[in-house]
Amino acid sequence: MIKRRSSRRLQIGRLFIGGLEPIAVQSMCNTDTRNIEQTVKQINCLEKAGCEIIRVAVPDLKAAKCLGVIKRSINLPLVADIHFSHELALEAINQGVDKIRINPGNIGSETKVKQVAEAARAKNIPIRVGINSGSLEKSILAKHNHQATAAAMVESALKHIQLLEKFDFDQIVVSLKASDLHRTAEAYSLLAEQVDYPFHIGVTEAGPGLKGTVWSTLGIGFLLQQGLGDTVRVSLTDDPIAEVKTAWEILKALDLRKRGVTITSCPTCGRTEIDLISLVKQAEEALADVDKDIHVAIMGCLVNGPGEAREADLAVIGGRGQGLILRRGQIVKRVQESDLIKVLVDEVKRYQ
Amino acid sequence: MIKRRSSRRLQIGRLFIGGLEPIAVQSMCNTDTRNIEQTVKQINCLEKAGCEIIRVAVPDLKAAKCLGVIKRSINLPLVADIHFSHELALEAINQGVDKIRINPGNIGSETKVKQVAEAARAKNIPIRVGINSGSLEKSILAKHNHQATAAAMVESALKHIQLLEKFDFDQIVVSLKASDLHRTAEAYSLLAEQVDYPFHIGVTEAGPGLKGTVWSTLGIGFLLQQGLGDTVRVSLTDDPIAEVKTAWEILKALDLRKRGVTITSCPTCGRTEIDLISLVKQAEEALADVDKDIHVAIMGCLVNGPGEAREADLAVIGGRGQGLILRRGQIVKRVQESDLIKVLVDEVKRYQ
């Protein structure tokens, strides 16, 4: 039901983004990039959790020199995150990364921009212009009453983009991240009217735990709902695994991607006569790695249970110390509470 | 920036919803209503977490008879959740609840509906018609190709509403909950064109943990963004405290309500030279009960730190084993990592 913006299709390693390609899930390592072993280990864990593109910070030449080894030790497309330095960008490209993130207006001179653009074109790797409301140029802020407005963010993005275009470089991805939702939505909408480059979307500095999850979900959700976004980064002050899981839940909720089992379950109330919260947690863990796009409903009573069961592939309706197992709305078994999850997992594995 | 739908204003106990009233946060007990002590205890905990309206299930007459004592032991407006039985509705009203949730088309006869409507009007309490995609009437499903579509949900809601209106009852709240987001959004939008009754919004059976949080956040967020919703219930297969916290984060993120300190913090990366995840968690806990609407940024490096600090009331920018404390973008102190949170909390308490 979501009509996606028509964006340019680009290659990042073995993956494509933009055009009609699936919206890719990405994250960023929080290890020290110079610690190759830890970084590779984190990337492999993130891949298992569903990460499709991984970015690492490149704060110095020592970190840049590690990129080749990291790249050869992982399966995911590798993105180098660089600030201010064309030397680091050239070294990252030389090391074989699949994409770099750098804002060309901040690296000193057009000669340097030209060198980076030519090196990236020679290897056919894209560059992401990453605008962040917290680090806009002073000259642009001055024109916008010293406020990092959506219009100021877009002006900054266009300035960096035009520098790359000047050197015939058009393999560009753009992000426009602010730490509040209205500004994020406005910035991407404004830029969508002006360029067809794919969008990397996210809410920056969304913060910790529930706050970060809710703000990221809303910010990213509103953009996706409008058809904007070709790759998603959820930013949380947390283990990046949580970022990947959250991104997938957003994409699944909006019917934009499919991945694994989806559990529908009731919130429990004074009518519930079974330990539903615990049963659902057990089911969630047991089904986490099942690679089947199916819908399981786990319900605590007969008020809404049968209706949800009808709409699910498999369902459990709990009663007093026991439960019914349903397949496509038809009762197939009556099972004791203690066996419910085991039987449900068996049914999921057998389901075709 | 959100323009709210113009809805009718109603009273629920000491609270008002609809019209220009703040969007109220509500939840539902998962205790056995017949266990008065546990139920009251849970309601008091929920109030402390920010719950503004509380609902309890009323599965039988014994539960209904407990409502008066519960009501007199709590501060929040109390809602009785009733299915199928006009006797339970009458007893709940008699016990002094502030609102009932019942679908009048399901209680048997127009005489019974009339009795309930008259009893509710005599006490000036509203009735919520609560449509759930999982429990639509067979007659309506039959007209919609046996699918619980948004149109079928709206038709069901209008049928129940018209039964109440027939007996001159217009203190009505409506909900239209489905377990998927597109249908939820479509149902509320359709009904908004036809009635001006306030909307209770939520995604039903959203499920456990992260999945429930993301789905509820998106479903509720899309409605609020369109200006729909006068009271919010997040449904999670979890402790109802989590429902209340999630609802508040949604409302805060959309600038619809204010409550306590808002933390902006970066996701950490290979540039971070301070244990930011742990510092932010400590700050989150220490500031959870501070009743001041202020914005705190906690940043791990100098790339985006200064920009975010400028936009925050108070900020920490972390470096190697120490950090700067900023007030309205101006550095006020340099502090060792071990003292950062203590000093930040002091600054928050002093901030005016």
The partner residue sitting opposite A225, judged by closest CB among B222, B242, B298, is B222
Looking at chain B, which residue has its C-alpha nearest residue A311? B134
Query: Considering the domain boundaries, does residue B1 fall inside one?
Result: no
pLDDT for residue A206: 82
What's the Cα-to-Cα distance from A1 to each of A141, A225, A226, B226, rounded to whole Å? 38, 9, 11, 17
Q: Does the beta-carbon distance from A249 to B30 stay under 8 Å?
A: no
Best interface-test mutation with A: which of B177, B256, B268 has the largest number of A CBs within 10 A? Answer: B268
Under 8 Å between Cβ of B171 and B164: no
Measured distance CA(A107)–CA(B83) in Å, rounded: 67
- The pLDDT tens digits for A181-236 are 889 999 999 999 999 999 999 998 888 889 999 999 999 999 999 999 999 999 99
Task: Give the gap in angstroms from C-alpha B309 to the nearest C-alpha of chain A.
Answer: 8
Query: Considering the domain boundaries, does residue A179 fall inside one?
Result: yes
- The interface predicted TM-score of the complex, written ipTM, equals 0.92
Domain CATH code at residue B213: 3.20.20.20
Query: Considering the domain boundaries, does residue B311 fall inside one?
Result: yes
Q: Which of A228, A253, A278 is a domain's end point?
A: A253
Q: Which of B253, B282, B315 is a domain's end point?
A: B253
Best interface-test mutation with A: which of B177, B264, B276 has the largest number of A CBs within 10 A? Answer: B264
pLDDT for residue B195: 98
The partner residue sitting opposite A270, judged by closest CB among B31, B204, B222, is B31
The partner residue sitting opposite B207, judged by closest CB among A56, A218, A264, is A264
Measured distance CA(A297)–CA(A218) in Å, rounded: 25
Under 8 Å between Cβ of A50 and A248: yes
Domain CATH code at residue B342: 3.30.413.10
pLDDT for residue B204: 85
Query: Considering the domain boundaries, does residue A2 fall inside one?
Result: no
Q: Which amino acid appears at position A172 of this protein?
A: I
H or E element in which residue B21 lies: none
pLDDT for residue A116: 98
What value does the CA radius of gyration of chain A take, rounded to a whole number of Å? 23
Instruction: Walk along chain A (352 residues) and give the pLDDT tens digit of each residue.
Output: 789 999 999 999 999 999 999 999 999 999 999 999 999 999 999 999 999 999 999 999 999 999 999 999 999 999 999 999 999 999 999 999 999 999 999 899 999 999 999 999 999 999 999 999 888 999 999 999 999 999 999 999 999 999 999 999 999 999 999 888 889 999 999 999 999 999 999 998 888 889 999 999 999 999 999 999 999 999 998 899 999 999 999 999 999 999 999 998 888 887 888 888 899 999 999 998 898 999 999 998 877 778 888 889 999 998 888 899 999 989 999 999 999 999 999 999 999 8
Looking at chain B, which residue has its C-alpha nearest residue A284? B208
Looking at chain A, which residue has its C-alpha nearest residue B221? A218
Q: Are residues A113 and A62 in the same domain?
A: yes
pLDDT > 80? residue B302: no
Closest by Cα among B31, B130, B126 to B84: B130
Q: What are phi and psi of A137, to 5 degrees?
A: -65, 145
Question: For B304, how many CA atoms within 13 A lie in the half-sphere containing its CB?
Answer: 27
Structural domain span for residue A160? 7-253
Structure tokens at B316: 């920490």
Closest by Cα among A333, A327, A332 to A315: A327
Q: At what angle do helices A209-225 and B240-253 cross, to 10 degrees?
A: 60
Q: Does the beta-carbon distance from B265 to A30 stay under 8 Å?
A: no
Q: Are residues B287 and B217 in the same domain?
A: no
Q: Does the beta-carbon distance from B135 to A303 stay under 8 Å?
A: yes
What's the Cα-to-Cα distance from A250 to each of A222, A289, B216, B249, rounded to whole Å? 11, 18, 11, 17
Q: Does the beta-carbon distance from B133 to A209 stay under 8 Å?
A: no
Where does the pLDDT of residue B320 fall: very low under 50, low under 70, confident under 90, or very high at 90 and above? confident
When divided into structural domains, chain A yields a total of 2
Q: Which of B230, B253, B276 is a domain's end point?
A: B253
Q: Residue A115: left if φ>0, alpha if ψ -120 to 50, beta else—which one?
A: alpha
